Copies of this chain bind each other. A is one copy, B any other.
């Protein structure tokens, strides 16, 4: 395991608000649960960043030699429009708008979510369970909570009794909210008359007439509350207490707070040892939101088809850009920052290509490859500090370029070790793909085009216009047009 002795893996536990040494319950096994998307609309960039954060965690733990079971769910029922327990189910609402069966909506947006994950090379989880796939388990868990006295049934619905729970447990410990403050901040109980306290949340909701998604239960026809599915699916696949639970920071309260309360109320044990939360995205300093007009989609970012984007950025540029920021920090999108990331990625990939052909030399300044490897591993072990790890890789880039110019001495063993380091960090850990891998045909095409443009320039220089015209005509047949600009010829496809 990479450098486990000197710099053991530490993760910031949002439950204790401290960086803690990571000690799995049952090594070499590690269990991770991450809250996945609610599939009633297209995935947004904030989701992509969050899933990328836990993709890096998954990759790094696997790289360290752990056997990771990574569970990321699909919420296909039960998330309510108002994020309180009244209002229409989000999926059912969209279904009526589109006059579709709710599960058609689910299918459409699940497919779209998977497409976006693939685009950014975010690995699929080990298990991707759905809320509708675990209804029996949810009903059974509610029965345990009721039996333990922490939930009550009203008119076909079941609510979690937060004040009762808070008498003996620290409700609010994850989000740091005191129950008195929560009560003071509560909006009126309009439409929530069934609840004993406005802090209570639904475990099971009675299906009103016309509600599209409902199932029989001991309390009548209804559907599960949103918070319940994650408690059920995480513990089913990872055990009553498991290693790591992740999600976006916006899920800390009430969702994750409720998950803790449900597990403790049902089974008497805290479900999670390490809570991890990713931070938010901003665009040019402002929160990204549809209402602000700055909420471009992953596709728009790649195609450049949005008024705030000067042009498109490749998925690997976006990935590298996100990893140049620590997951717990706010990440700000701007064209300048993306273009800088693009240049950085090109520079690092160019050095990787040089490395493949580099010959050993004893001339020039010495470079300590061991220290570089240790620094990269230590950065990753330091709460997944990808920006620091990348900064170290750039030290390696300078050494490679220096060796290529004859100014830095690298032995054969040094070069081999650098190759392994760059392979590991770029592809295995950061999950980047070389552009060749991402779109091999396109890269060859641009190489071939450069050869043809060189031949064309040569022909023009020796005034062999028959030859230069032949090249132009043959390219035209392929739908490629060449324009001569003051910066040289540029080409584009029809």
Contacts and interface: CB of A to CB of B under 8 A. Distances in A.
Interface of A: 69, 101, 103-104, 106-107, 111, 114, 124-130, 132-133, 135-137, 140, 215-216, 237, 439-445, 447-449, 451-452, 454-455, 467, 470-471, 474-475, 477-478, 480, 493
A140 B135 CA distance: 14
B442 A454 contact: no
A455 B442 contact: no
Contact of A445 (B101, B140, B444): B444
A224 B447 CA distance: 57
Nearest to A439: B441
Nearest to A237: B101
Contacts of A216: 136, 140
Contacts of A442: 440-441, 444
Nearest to A444: B445
A69 B454 contact: no
Contacts of A444: 441-442, 445, 478, 480, 493
B130 A104 contact: no
B126 A107 contact: yes
A455 B441 contact: no
A237 B104 CA distance: 10
Nearest to A456: B455
Given A140-B216, A237-B103, A478 B451 contact: yes
Given A69-B101, A455-B467, 9 more contacts: A101-B126, A103-B129, A107-B127, A136-B215, A137-B215, A440-B442, A441-B441, A441-B443, A451-B471
Contacts of A445: 441, 444-445, 448
A124 B110 CA distance: 11
Contacts of A135: 135-136
14 contacts: A104-B126, A106-B127, A440-B441, A441-B445, A442-B444, A444-B445, A444-B478, A447-B478, A448-B448, A448-B452, A451-B452, A451-B474, A452-B452, A452-B455
A480 B439 CA distance: 17
Nearest to A475: B451
A128 B101 contact: no
A454 B441 contact: no
A324 to B, nearest CB: 28
Nearest to A102: B127
A208 B53 CA distance: 41
Contacts of A106: 127
Contacts of A441: 439-445
A106 B107 CA distance: 17
A129 B440 CA distance: 35
A111 B125 CA distance: 10
Contacts of A136: 135-136, 215-216
Closest 3 CB pairs of A and B: A441-B441, A441-B442, A448-B448
Contacts of A447: 477-478
Contacts of A452: 448, 451-452, 455
Contacts of A101: 69, 126-127, 237
B107 A125 contact: yes
Nearest to A108: B126
A114 B480 CA distance: 35
Contact of A104 (B127, B449, B475): B127
Contact of A449 (B237, B439, B448, B477): B448
Contacts of A443: 441
Contacts of A133: 130, 132-133
Contacts of A475: 451
A460 B299 CA distance: 47
A374 B436 CA distance: 46
Given A140-B216, A443-B441, A455-B471, A107 B130 contact: no
* Among A69, A103, A475: residue with most chain B CB under 10 A: A103
A439 B101 CA distance: 35
Contacts of A455: 452, 455, 467, 470-471
